[in-house]
Structure 1
């Protein structure tokens, strides 16, 4: 009798195990990280670049970039993991939006929005002012400035001004 009871309980528990959510680290690997570089009052670059754990990179210009329109390329997944690890310290813990601290900054610089989007659609967003010279904002900008080269989009993200294109 006890043997049958244990067998039945094992079957019930095994059925429940399939419904458990994936561990937190597994959901993070499915994240897409999107960096939006925002305007200034001059001819700052304005573009969005998204990177996925599978190495897919999508670049989309808005203004003042050498490449016009959407461009795609692949990077090694290890590059994504390295960038994700460097940005992890800035990622909000909960599904929220927050401003990155910056007390000392150069004015009229581009701004940055970094969005982590999980497989289920949960979004974690930070906003940072460009030109930050101290603390968390300076550390974040140091990472973000390396992205064009590391993602292979440096040629696309070069500053270009086209006739008739407004500033800002």
Structure 2
């Protein structure tokens, strides 16, 4: 019985991290593909309209803690090809590290996040907000900010918000950092 309790608790601790999308075995397309817009919300509330890709924006992507060993970090990517990784907890690198991104990497990251960029202001998919619905506890979240000529936009997304309804968004947001040359700085993800 004691072993069963330990296994259940360990599974809960490790299962709460940002979902990772398994790489596909087919070759990547020549250029980044435009992702499909998020599906409509099943509760009758329409999904937020996808904002167009706006080149020249600085993007900041920051994760939060969970109940477990989820990596906590922030990464900022600029259109000039510079980036900064800031490891905070459960990352292979702690502190700030600068890196470079190719135009293709910047474009892929920008395009992966574009369907979830608000047209204006901020969107929040967090417990207690109507867009969240039923939520699982002890999950991490991500805060994405876009800054540029079009102004400031922000998205807060809690990975426990109605997991079935927001699966496409969770997959896109969770896999976006894999498009940048920072996987070695993030390290192992449970």
Q: Which moved more, 1:64-73 or 1:137-146?
A: 137-146
- 1:40 maps to 2:62: no
CA 1:104/1:77 → structure 2, altered by over 3 Å: closer, same or farther?
farther
- Provide the TM-score with structure 2 as the length reference: 0.61
SS of 1:146 mapped into structure 2? helix
Where does the alignment leave 5 or more consecutive residues of structure 1 unmatched? 1-24, 161-168
- 1:115 maps to 2:141: no
- Aligned residue in 1 for 2:77: 51
- Higher Rg: 1
SS of 1:112 mapped into structure 2? strand
- Aligned residue in 1 for 2:37: none
Give 1:34 shift: 0.8
Cα distance in 2 for residues equivalent to 1:98 and 1:38: 17
* Among 176, 179, 186, the residue aligned to 1:150: 179
Where does the alignment leave 5 or more consecutive residues of structure 2 unmatched? 1-51, 126-130
Residue-pair matches, total: 132
* Among 77, 98, 101, the residue aligned to 2:123: 98
Native 8 Å contact 1:48 1:59 kept in 2: yes
Cα distance in 2 for residues equivalent to 1:152 and 1:131: 27
- Aligned residue in 2 for 1:62: 88
- 1:73 maps to 2:99: yes
Alignment of 1:124-139 (within 5 A): 124-132=153-161, 133-135=163-165, 137-139=166-168
1:48-91 per-residue CA deviation (whole Å, 9 max, x = no partner) reads 01112222221101212110111121121122112212211111
SS of 1:87 mapped into structure 2? helix
Give 1:144 shift: 2.4
Q: CA RMSD in A?
A: 2.4
Native 8 Å contact 1:32 1:51 kept in 2: yes
Native 8 Å contact 1:102 1:134 kept in 2: no
- Provide the TM-score with structure 1 as the length reference: 0.68
- Aligned residue in 2 for 1:164: none
